[in-house]
């Protein structure tokens, strides 16, 4: 004899909906449906067992759900387990997949800014300059930028990049990292800032390097973390809306 009523119980289905919702857009549909089916079977068997000893069905369902755990906590545990084991490899094992994902975004942003500065320093705005030695050798003798006519485009471009880069990198991190995106952004920024301070110290008395490191601490870090958080929220919202 099966004491469960025919058809899905609305209380259990509501719980399963809340359990599945955070997984949308993070866990592949096949795994999500499997977890939902297993959770449903688990709860129904728990309720069956309680009803065999007598008692109210709604109370049995409430107790079964309580024993199973809050939907948000179970879902989060599943996401973290799934994500932590999504890709195998020594680097991922050592540093964490989310941290490496975030690091790749912020490192690219950092390197691109470095290239932009190099371009600004070494590319003459007029073609009248010819370099007899390599730019690296030139820099040893002339640490300051070449006295080329200052092109306002470069200044504008580098300032805009400086402001937008952490936002874009953080946003892309948020889209790619489903759990703890802002934390991963912070983890990724730490070695980059340390590198900037070291590199900035090496080129003293030129202060641009140190200044860039300070900008990374006071702006890139919080802006990147916030953008990662918002990117994650956006990805989740988009997944829930089924866009």
Partner 1 sequence: MKRNRDQLLTSNLLRGNSTLLVLSILRDAPTAGFEIATEIQRRSNQLIDFKQGTLYPLLHEMERKGLIESDWHLPKQGRPHRVYRPTEQGLQELEHGLRAWADFATAMTLVTGVKPEEQGA
* Residues of this chain that bind partner 1 (CB under 8 A): 2, 4, 19, 31, 34-35, 37-42, 44-46, 48, 67-70, 73-74, 77-78, 80-82, 85
**At closest approach, how far in Å is the CB of 85 from partner 1?**
6
183 class by beta-carbon count within 10 Å (0-12 exposed, 13-18 middle, 19+ buried)? middle
Helical H runs in the chain? 10-20, 29-52, 57-68, 71-84, 90-95, 97-122, 135-141, 152-176, 181-202, 208-215, 221-241
Least CB distance to partner 1 at residue 56 (A): 20
What's the CA gap between 171 and 177, in Å, rounded? 10
Q: Please, are residues 72 and 22 in contact by the beta-carbon 8 Å criterion?
A: yes
Nearer to partner 1, 80 or 151 (CB): 80
CB of 236 to partner 1, least distance (A): 19
In the complex, least distance from residue 91 CB atom to partner 1, rounded to whole angstroms: 19
Length of the chain: 243
Shortest reach from residue 26's CB to partner 1, in Å = 13
Q: Which is nearer to partner 1, 81 or 134 (CB)?
A: 81
Assigned token pair, 125: 């705005």
Residue with Cβ nearer partner 1 (8 or 143)? 8
Do residues 188 and 201 lie in contact, with contact meaning Cβ atoms separated by under 8 Å?
A: no
Which candidate, 241, 236, 229, 238, places its Cα nearest to that of 75? 236
* Residue 82 CB partners (closer than 8 Å, separation 6+): 26, 27, 31
**Closest separation in Å from C-beta 7 to partner 1:** 11
Judged by CB, which is closer to partner 1: 33, or 123? 33
- For partner 1, the closer CB: 86 or 143: 86
Q: Which is nearer to partner 1, 66 or 241 (CB)?
A: 66
């Amino acid at each position: 004899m099966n004491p469960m009523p025919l058809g899905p119980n609305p209380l259990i289905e509501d719980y399963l909906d809340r359990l599945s919702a955070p997984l949308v857009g993070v866990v592949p549909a096949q795994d999500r449906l499997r977890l939902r089916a297993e959770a449903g079977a688990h709860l129904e068997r728990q309720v069956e067992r309680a009803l065999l000893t007598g008692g109210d069905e709604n109370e049995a369902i409430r107790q079964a759900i309580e024993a199973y755990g809050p939907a948000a906590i179970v879902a989060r545990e599943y996401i973290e387990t799934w994500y932590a084991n999504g890709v195998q490899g020594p680097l991922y094992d050592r540093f964490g997949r989310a941290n490496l994902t975030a690091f790749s975004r912020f490192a690219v942003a950092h390197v691109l800014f470095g290239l932009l500065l190099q371009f600004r320093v070494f590319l003459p705005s007029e073609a009248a300059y010819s370099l007899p030695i390599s730019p690296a050798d030139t820099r040893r003798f002339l640490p300051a930028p070449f006295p080329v006519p200052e092109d306002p485009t470069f200044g504008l471009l580098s300032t805009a990049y400086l402001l937008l880069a952490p936002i874009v990198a953080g946003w892309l991190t948020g889209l790619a990292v489903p759990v703890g995106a802002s934390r991963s952004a912070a983890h990724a920024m730490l070695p980059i800032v340390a590198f900037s301070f070291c590199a900035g110290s090496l080129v003293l008395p030129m202060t641009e390097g140190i200044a860039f490191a300070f900008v990374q601490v006071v702006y890139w870090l919080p802006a990147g973390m916030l953008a990662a958080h918002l990117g994650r929220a956006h990805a989740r919202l988009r997944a829930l809306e089924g866009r």
